[in-house]
Amino acid sequence: MATKARIIKRGDDTIFQILVNTFLVLLLIAVLIPLWKVLIMSVTPLNFLDVKAYGLWLDPWKWSFEAYKQLLSHPSFTRAASNSGIITIGGVIVNMLLTVPFAYALSVEKLPGRKFFITMVMIPFLFNAGLIPVYLVVNKLGLIDSWWAVILPGGINIYNLLVMKSFFEGLPEELKEAARLDGANEIQVLWTVILPLSKPILLTIGLFYAVAHWNEFFNAILYLNDAKLQPLTILLRNILLAANMNEYVEYDAFSSASVQSIKSASVFLTMLPMVAIYPWIQKYFTKGTLLGGVKS
Amino acid sequence: MNKVFYKSMLALVLLALLASACAPVASPTAEPAQEQPTAAVAAPTDKPAEPTAAPTEPPAPPEIEVVDLELWAGGRVSEAGPPPDDWVAYDIIREQAKVNLKLVLLPSTQADQDTKINAAAASNSLPDVFMVSRDVLYKLVQAGLVAQVDDLLPMMPTRTAGHYFDADRNKLATFDGAMYGLPDPGALPQTDSLVIRQDWLDKLGLTAPTNLDEFMEVAKAFTFNDPDGNGAQDTYGFCAFIDGSGLAQAGLGPRFDFIYGAYGVAGVWNLSDSVSLNARSEDYMKATEFIKNLNDEKVIDPDWPTLKKDEFRARWKQGKCGIMIENFAALANKSNYKDFDENFPDGQWVAMDAVAGPDGEASMGTVMKTARIYAVSQKAIDEGKGEAIARFLEWTASDEGYFLLGFGVEGENYVKDSNGYVVTEGIAPEMAWTSKEMQPLTQLANMVYIFTDVEMQARYVAYKTKNGRDMDPKAYYAEFLTKPFTQATGAGVINPPSNAADFVRFYSENIVQFVLGQKPLTAEAWAEYIAGLDSLGAAQLEADAKETLLQTGFLK
C-alpha cells in the first residue's frame, strides 16, 4: 500500500516536473522570440524585397552586418558606449564602496545607535524624496554635467543594502569573534574575514548595480547637459526616434542599412554586455539573493 | 604576491576613475573666454564711425562686454552629437555677437524635453534661452519664470522680419496679449498629401480617382487585380496607420483625414463660430463609415491599427501600397526613396488630387502653422542679458549666421553655385554638410531655417533614379501645395483638458472600434459615443476652446 502511494507520489512529482519544465521552456521561448526577432531585423539587408521585413527567419547567407558596421563606426556610438562603461564601472565601484561598509556596520549587533541608523535608512526607502528635491541637491552641489550626478544619487540602494546586511548577519559570528580576539579591528574583520566569504552577495549586488547603471537614462537626461557625457541609452533612444524625425531632413546618416536594421542593431548591441556578463555571475546569483534574503 | 598586486591595481583603477569623474567637464567656450576683451575692442573698428558734429576725435566705440549665454536647443539630427569644442561658430559668435555661447542639446522627445525643463524650472535654474513646448511655456508664464519678449523684437530687426512676422504663429507664444516666446517657423505646411502608384494605374488601365466612389474602385483594383504582376495577391489599395497624438490629432489621425475632408469635417475641431468637435457632425460618422467600408472590403492594409510609422514606410518600400498619404521628403528624398528605387526601378509615385465627397467637398486634411518656441528666462533678463540675447539671435539671422549654422563653413562643407544655392560639388563626401561626419556642425540649423529657396534647394536635392528618371522632392512639394487643405492653426492653442489622456483615448479607441466592426456603426451607437465624450467633459472643453480662441484672436 505504502509502495503504491510512493509510486503515485513519484508519478505526481514527475507530472509536476514536466509541467514546470514545459512552462519554463515556453517562458524561455517567449523571452527568446523578441530577442531573435531583434537579431534577425538587425541583420536584414537594405534590399529586403524578397524577405519579410518583420519575419522571424532570414536565410543566413542573406544576413548583412552593415547595420553593426555603421553603428560601430559612428562616432556618437563609440563615445556613448564608453560613457556607459565609465558610468557602470565607476558607479559600481562607488556603490560597493558605500554599500559594503555600511551594510557591515549595520550587521554588527553591538553597533551603538544601530536601531537609529536602520530607522534612518528605512525612511528614504519607504518615502522617496521625489524628482525636484534630488535635482535641487544635485544642482546645489554643482554636480550637473559631471558623471557624479548620475553615480552619487544612487550611491546606496537601500534594498541592496538590506540584502547585503542580511547576508553579513548570516555569517558565523564565531569567525568575526576569532578575528577580533586576534586583535583585528572592524575594518580588518570586514576585509580579511567577511569579504572573502561574501563573493556571492558581492557579485549579485554588483550585478544589480551594474545593470542599473548600464540602463541609466532618466538621471542622464536630467543632469548631463553635455552630450559628450551622455550614455548609450540616450543615444539608443535618439536612434530609435530618428526614423520618425529624419523624414524632414536630407541626411543620409546610415546609407547602406535600413533604419529598421540600425534600430535593431543598436538595441542588440546595447543589451549585449549585460547579457554576456549574466551567465558568468549566475552561479552566484541565486546563492547570493537566497542567503541575503533569509536571516538565520 | 598576487593579492597585493590585484589590490594595488584595484586601488589605482579606483583612483583613476574617481579623478576622472571629479574632473570638471570641459566647456567648449571656457578657455577662449579669456581672450574676449581683445576681440570686443577689435571688432567694432570694422564698422564705419557715426558722423559727429564736433570736429573732435571720433568717440571710441562703446566697448561691449562679452556675455555668457546658455542655450538649450533641439538638435537637428537626433542621433548625431553636439558641435565639437573647437566649433568655429563659437569663436565667430563671440566676436560678432559678443556672446560666449554654451550650447546644450535637449533630449529628442518632447516628453523628455518637458521633464528636463520642468526640473530646471523647479530649481530656478532655467537656462537663458531655451526651446520649449507651448504647454510647458504656459505653465512657466504662470509661474513668472519666463520673460516677455516683445521688447527684444526691435533689437533684432532682421530676425524679427524673417522669423516672427506671422501674426498667427506669434499667437502660439502669446498669453494675455504679450509674447512670452519667440515662435520660429516649425515644420513646412502641407507636406503630407495623397500619392498613388502611376505604374499600377497604367498597368491596369485606370486613372487616378477623383471622388470616394472611384477611390474605392481603384483601391479594389490595386488589391485584387495584381497590379505588380507578380501573380500573388500581396498588394493593398490603400495603406495607412494611426498617426499623430494628442487632442489635435485624435481619432485616426492625419493619414485618414482626407476622407473626413471629403465630408467637410477634416480634423478634430470645427473652428467656426460654434467651436465644436467635428465628431458631433453626422458627416463625421459618414466618413468613418466609408473607412469602415474600406476595411470591410479588405482594400486597406489590415495591419493599419497597429502599424508604426517606420513599419508603414517599409510596406510601401516593399511595394505593398497603391495609395497613401505621405510626407514629400519621406517619399522622395534620396535617403528615403532609395529602398523603393532599389526594389522597383520602374515604380512611380505621383501626387493625387484630394478626393471629393458626396457634396463635392475635398480636403487633404488640416494644416496648422507650427512653431519651435524659444523662451527667455526671467532670470536672464534680470541679469541684464536681454541685449546679448537679441544680439545673438540677430546674428543668427545674418547671412553669416544663417549659412554657418545652417550649412557649415563655405568652401569646407559647401559651396555656392552661380545662383547662390548651396551645393556640395567639389567637396569631399565626408566633409559635405549633409554627411554624417558633419552633422554636429548643423545641429542648430533649425534655429535659422525659415524655408528660403536656398534651403529648399539644398535640403531637397534633385537626383536621378536607378533607371535614370529625374526625381525632385521639391516638385512633389510644389504639387502638394496646390491641393486643398483645411486651415486649423487655431487648434494648436486649444489647451488640453486635465483628463486629456482619457479623453483622447476614448475618442480614438471608439473610432477604431467602429471601423473594425467591434462596435456597430449606427446612429444610436454614435449618439452613445458622443454622450460618452460629453461625460468626459467634451462640452466644457468646447466652451474653454472657444474662450481660448477668442482670447488669442483666432476667433473674432
Average pLDDT for B217-237: 92
Which candidate from B82, B108, B125 shows the least CB-CB separation from A139? Answer: B125
Would you tell me how many other CB atoms lie within 10 Å of the CB of residue B399?
A: 8
Both B297 and B432 in one domain: the answer is no
Measured distance CA(B146)–CA(B223) in Å, rounded: 55
What is the amino acid identity at position B486? T
Q: Where residue A193 sits, what CATH number does that domain have?
A: 1.10.3720.10
Q: What is the secondary structure of A88-154 as a DSSP string?
A: HHHHHHHHHHHHHHHHHHHH-TT-TTHHHHHHHHHHHHHS---HHHHHHHHHHTT-TTSTHHHHSTT
Domain identity same for B378 and B412: yes
| Span between the terminal Cα atoms of chain B, in Å | 87
> Is residue A33 one of the residues assigned to a domain?
no
Q: Is residue B349 part of a domain?
A: yes
The cell 463660430 sits on which residue? B273
* Mean pLDDT across chain B: 85
On whether residue A172 sits in a domain, the answer given is yes
User: Could you tell me the pLDDT band of residue B201, with boundaries at 50, 70 and 90?
Assistant: very high
Q: Tell me how close the Cα of A22 comes to any Cα of chain B, in angstroms.
A: 31
Quickly state the pLDDT bin for B20 (edges 50, 70, 90): very low
Q: Which of residues 37-76 of A touch B (CB under 8 A)?
A: 46-49, 53-54, 74-76
Q: Do A235 and B17 touch (CB under 8 A)?
A: no
Cell of B395: 546674428
pLDDT at A239: 75
Q: CB-based contacts of A172: which residues, under 8 Å, 6+ apart?
A: none
Q: Does pLDDT of B51 surpass 60?
A: no
Given an 8 Å threshold on Cβ–Cβ distance, is A254 in contact with B188?
no
- Among all residues of chain B, which has the CA nearest to that of A148? B21
**Using CA atoms, how far apart are residues B327 and B219, in angstroms rounded to an integer?**
20
- Judged by a CB distance cut-off of 8 A, whether residue A251 touches chain B is yes
For B517, what's the count of Cα atoms within 13 Å in the CB-facing half-sphere?
A: 7
Q: Is A195 on the interface with B (CB under 8 A)?
A: no
Asked if residue B182 and residue B210 are part of one domain, the reply reads no
Cα R_g (chain A), whole angstroms: 25
B211 and B358 co-located in one domain: yes
The answer to whether B82 contacts chain A (CB < 8 Å) is yes
What one-character DSSP code corresponds to residue B228? T
**Contact call for B78 and A241, based on CB within 8 A:** yes
Cell 567656450 appears where? B29
Other residues' Cβ atoms within 10 Å of the Cβ of residue A138: 22
Of B265, B227, B236, B253, residue with least CA distance to B324: B236
For residues B421 and B348, membership in a common domain is answered with no
B9 touches A: beta carbon within 8 Å: no
Distance of CA B195 to the CA centre of its chain: 21
Nearest chain B Cα distance for residue A152, angstroms: 11
Residue in chain A lying closest to B23 (CA) = A146
pTM > 0.80: yes or no: no
Closest CA to A242 of A229, A231, A257: A257
Give the number of C-alpha atoms closer than 13 A to the C-alpha of residue B471, restricted to the C-beta side.
25
Please name the member of A76, A221, A255 whose beta carbon is closest to the beta carbon of B115: A221
Specify the residue for cell string 533607371: B467
Same domain, residue pair B381 and B306: no
Please judge whether A234 and B107 are an interchain contact, meaning their C-beta atoms are less than 8 angstroms apart: yes
Whether residue A237 contacts residue A218, with contact meaning beta carbons closer than 8 Å, is answered with no
Check if B187 contacts A (Cβ < 8 Å).
yes
How far apart CA A136 and CA A142 sit, in angstroms, is: 10
Whether B340 is covered by a domain: the verdict is yes
Compute chain B's Rg from CA coordinates: 27
Does B505 lie in the same domain as B447?
A: no
Please check whether residue A283 touches B, CB under 8 A.
Answer: no
Q: Which residues pair with B434 in a beta bridge?
A: none
C-alpha cell at B297: 472590403
**In this complex, how many residue pairs, one in chain A and one in chain B, have their CB atoms less than 8 Å apart?**
153
Task: Give how far B402 is from chain A: nearest CA, Å.
Answer: 17
Buried b (16+ CB within 10 A) or exposed e, B1-19: eeeeeeeeeeeeeeeebee
Q: Say if A1 falls within a structural domain.
A: no
**Are B21 and A146 within 8 A, CB to CB?**
yes
Q: Kindly tell me if the per-residue pLDDT of B351 is higher than 90.
A: yes
Å between B339 CA and nearest CA of chain A: 7
| Alpha-carbon span B514 to B527, nearest angstrom | 13
Grid coordinates given for A133: 528635491
Most distant pair of Cα atoms in chain B: their distance? 92
Cross-chain Cβ contact A89/B436 below 8 Å: no
Mind telling me how many Å the CA of A250 is from chain B's nearest CA?
A: 5
In a domain, B43, yes or no: no
Q: Are A156 and A164 in contact (CB under 8 A)?
A: no
DSSP letter string over B435-485?
SGGGGGGGTTHHHH----HHHHHHHS--EE-TTS-EE-HHHHHHHHHTS--
Nearest to B141 by CA among B175, B112, B111, B117: B175
Give the residue from A250, A259, A266 with the most B CB atoms within 10 Å of its CB, the best one to mutate: A250
Domain that holds residue B74: 64-187+370-451
CB within 8 Å: A139 and B109: no
Split into its structural domains, chain A has a count of 1
Which neighbouring-strand residues pair with B182? B374
Q: Are B182 and B133 within one domain?
A: yes
Backbone angles phi, psi at B29, to 5 degrees: -115, 0
**Burial zone of A98 (CB within 10 Å; 0-12 exposed, 13-18 middle, 19+ buried):** middle
Residues B502-544 pLDDT 10s: 998 999 999 999 999 999 999 999 999 999 999 999 899 899 8
Residues B359, B381, single domain; the answer is: no
Question: Which one-letter amino acid corresponds to residue B363?
Answer: S
Query: What single letter denotes the amino acid at residue B222?
Result: F
- A contacts of B458 (beta carbons < 8 Å): 250
CB-based contacts of A8, cutoff 8 Å, min separation 6: none
CB-CB neighbors (< 8 A) of A237 in chain B:
107-109, 112
Q: Where does residue B117 rank: exposed (0-12), middle (13-18), buried (19+ CB within 10 A)? A: buried
Domain C-terminal end among B436, B451, B466: B451
CB contact B116 to A (< 8 Å)? yes
Q: In which element (H, E) is residue B371 found?
A: strand B371-376
Spatial distance between the Cα atoms of A151 and A154, rounded to a whole number of angstroms: 6
Percent of chain B past pLDDT 70, that is, above it, reads: 89
CB contact under 8 Å between A221 and B21, yes or no, is no
Read off the CATH number of the domain in which B437 is found: 3.40.190.10
Q: Say whether pLDDT at B12 is over 70.
A: no
Of A47, A135, A263, the CB nearest to B343: A47
- Distance (Å, rounded) from C-alpha B233 to C-alpha B215? 19
A188 in contact with B, Cβ within 8 Å: no
- B330-361: b or e for each residue (b if 16 or more CB lie within 10 Å)? bbbbbbbbbbbbebbeebbbebbbbbbbeeeb
Percent of chain B past pLDDT 90, that is, above it, reads 53
- In a domain? residue A10: no
Q: Confidence class of residue B11 from pLDDT cuts 50, 70 and 90?
A: low
Q: How far apart are the C-alpha atoms of B159 and B151, rounded to whole Å?
A: 14
Chain B residues touching residue A228 (CB < 8 angstroms): 81-82
B281 shares its domain with B152: no
Amino acid at B143: A
Its ipTM equals: 0.71
The three cell numbers of residue A191 are: 576585509
pLDDT-derived band at B22 (thresholds 50, 70, 90) equals very low
Per-position pLDDT tens, chain A of length 296: 566 767 766 777 888 899 999 999 999 999 888 888 888 888 877 655 444 555 667 676 777 788 788 778 777 788 888 999 999 999 999 999 999 999 999 998 888 998 999 999 898 888 877 888 888 889 889 898 899 999 998 899 999 999 999 988 888 888 888 888 888 888 888 888 888 888 888 988 998 899 899 988 888 988 988 888 889 888 888 777 765 544 444 444 445 556 677 778 888 888 888 888 888 777 776 665 555 555 44
β-bridge partners, A241: none
Structurally, chain B folds into a number of domains equal to 2
Task: Report the candidate in B71, B158, B85 with the shortest Cα–Cα distance to residue B117.
Answer: B71
Copy the grid coordinates of residue B383. 541679469
What residue of A is the nearest CA neighbor of B119? Answer: A132
Is residue A247 situated within a structural domain? no
Per DSSP (E only), the strands in B75-202 are 99-106, 129-132, 174-175, 178-179, 182-185, 192-197
List chain B residues with CB under 8 Å of A147: 20-21
A130: closest chain B residue by CA: B119
* B459 Cβ under 8 Å from any chain A Cβ: yes
Q: Is some CB atom of chain A closer than 8 A to the CB atom of B329?
A: yes
* Contact of A99 with A161, CB cutoff 8 Å: yes
pLDDT digits (tens, 9 = 90+) for B315-339: 898 899 999 999 998 899 887 888 8
Q: What is the dihedral of CA B407, B410, B412, B414, to 10 degrees?
A: 50
Spatial CB neighbours of A61, under 8 Å, sequence gap ≥ 6 = none
Name beta bridge partners: B196: B323, B350
- Return d(Cα A170, Cα A162) in angstroms, integer: 12
B21 to chain A, minimum CA–CA distance in Å?
Answer: 6
- Inform me whether the C-beta atom of residue A221 falls under 8 Å from chain B C-beta atoms: yes
In a domain, residue A117? The reply is: yes
The reported pLDDT for the residue numbered A291 is 57
Residue A263 lies in a domain: no
Q: Based on the fold, state whether residues B145 and B212 are members of the same structural domain.
A: no
Residues near B517 by beta carbon (within 8 Å), at least 6 away in sequence: B292, B295, B296
Residue B322 to residue B511: CA distance in whole angstroms: 24
Domain that holds residue A138: 73-228+288-293
3-state secondary structure at position A156: coil
Supply the pLDDT for residue B107. 86
pLDDT in tens, B242-284: 987 778 888 898 999 999 999 999 998 888 878 889 999 999 9
Cα within 13 Å of Cα(B198), Cβ side? 8
CB neighbours of A284 closer than 8 A, spacing ≥ 6? Answer: A199, A200, A203, A204
From chain A, the residues in CB contact with B22 under 8 A are 146, 148
Measured distance CA(B436)–CA(A252) in Å, rounded:
7
Residues B394 and B538 in one domain: no
Q: What angle do CA B410, B334, B300 make, to 5 degrees?
A: 145
How far, in Å, CA of B84 to CA of B443, rounded?
Answer: 11
